[in-house]
Structure 1
Amino acid sequence: MAYSWDNRIQFAIKFLYDIDGNGYLEEKDFMCLAVRATIIEGKGEFNTAKLQENQHIMLSLWEEIAELADFNKDGRISTEEFRQAVTDCCAGKRYEDFPQAMKMFIDSNFKMMDTNDDGIIAAEEYRYNCCTKFAIDDISLVDEAYNNLLNDDDRRRGGITLSRYQELYAEFLGNPKDDNPGIYLFGPLSEFFPSS
């Protein structure tokens, strides 16, 4: 069940959005994401203009997610609220149909993964991203997940382009079936939480 839709949603909350680890999504998480994106994109260097750009992206994403998912309007989004919002806004949809701020976040995430700025996420960059998100004790599992992610065009290009990443991200969040390559976008998932 590691690649079930429910587990993928749990993963997105725990490892992509809930930066402070308190079990809820809040505005603070997205401000922390802006700082993280700035430092990663700058390879350790801090750029105020880039921070402001990332803050705009992340604050827009927070506002959009809060509008779509904070059903009780308490300023915090629970796992259940997030799951319902993803179901409403992403399930069965392509990247082009996602909310605008979500698309900006996806594109920003690609930039963070593409550490050498060549427009392709290669195996080395994928490994690095996986190992900085969660515990990995067997790198061959990461390589296997990467190979499962790729199609023939990806292999010819030497990795994943932005447009392919967008497609895979839409599958990761929006396709409830666990038989699509998008399930491997963030590596070899474990069962993080029991299904509810």
Structure 2
Amino acid sequence: MAYTWDNRVSFVVRFLYDIDNNGQLDSHDFKCLALRSCVLEGKGDCSPARLQKFQHIMTSLWEELSELADFNKDGMITTDEFKKAVQDTCVGKKFEEFPQAMKAFIEINFKLLDINDDGIVGLEEFRYDCVSRMVVEEIKDIDDAFNALLNDEDRKVGGINLARYRELFAQFLSDTSDSCPAQYLFGPLVFN
């Protein structure tokens, strides 16, 4: 099943952190994530001050993840090491209990999704994020995933706000059930 906890955590490694697609995490990924985040948040602009902010955040995230997940201290984190670290630090926990750098990453990710800066990730922004990360054959699959995430309050405001995104991201990592309410947070999980 595509939405198992194991697959969800593997998805985070592959599509959120492993930016150079070499199958493992290292400091290079987080250096590239800093630049990517800067450019995306700036919608093409990459000011030195913004880049420095993202470099600090991503360096902190890498250092924290290394401490939690680089069990053999080789400077690289495998998917299995990452899963073990998530299991040890996130499973069964709420967003507020996550490691600080991971919380910062989640908030940055929301800002990057909220393209129009209105504080809500709507359907179009969700679609954009999904197709920019992976191959999806049908728009209906993305729309269905988005609609499955929404609760009544989300529908009233037209999408997902930051508080709800934090809650969903935490569920995505911390709920080990195959029917996790947040299983569609990143759209239909496609492992091509």
Verify same fold: TM over 0.5.
Answer: yes
Indicate conservation of the 8 Å contact 1:150/1:181, yes or no.
no
Indicate conservation of the 8 Å contact 1:71/1:81, yes or no.
yes
The residue number in structure 1 matching 2:187 is: 187
| Per-residue CA distance 1:133-157 (angstroms, 9 max, x = gap) | 0001101000000000100000001
Q: Does 2:154 correspond to 1:128? A: no
Q: Secondary structure at the match of 1:184?
A: coil
Indicate conservation of the 8 Å contact 1:89/1:98, yes or no.
yes
| Per-residue CA distance 1:14-36 (angstroms, 9 max, x = gap) | 00000111111001101101111
| Per-residue CA distance 1:81-136 (angstroms, 9 max, x = gap) | 10100000000100000000000000000000000011000000000000000001
1: CA distance, partners of 2:134 / 2:181: 20
CA deviation after TM superposition for structure 1 residue 181, in Å: 2.4
CA RMSD in angstroms, aligned pairs only: 0.9
| Per-residue CA distance 1:22-59 (angstroms, 9 max, x = gap) | 11100110110111111111111111111111111111
Q: Secondary structure at the match of 1:155?
A: helix
The runs of at least 4 consecutive aligned structure 1 residues that moved more than 6 Å come to none
2: CA distance, partners of 1:148 / 1:180: 11
The residue number in structure 1 matching 2:164 is: 164
1: CA distance, partners of 2:178 / 2:58: 29
**1:6 counterpart letter in structure 2:** D
The worse-fitting range, judged by mean Cα deviation, of 80-89 and 170-179 is: 170-179
2: CA distance, partners of 1:137 / 1:42: 29
What does 1:13-162 correspond to in 2, within 5 Å? Answer: 13-162=13-162
**1:104 counterpart letter in structure 2:** A
TM-score by length of 1: 0.96
The percentage of aligned residue pairs carrying the same residue is: 58
Structure 1, unpaired ranges of 5+: none
Structure 2, unpaired ranges of 5+: none
2: CA distance, partners of 1:24 / 1:88: 19
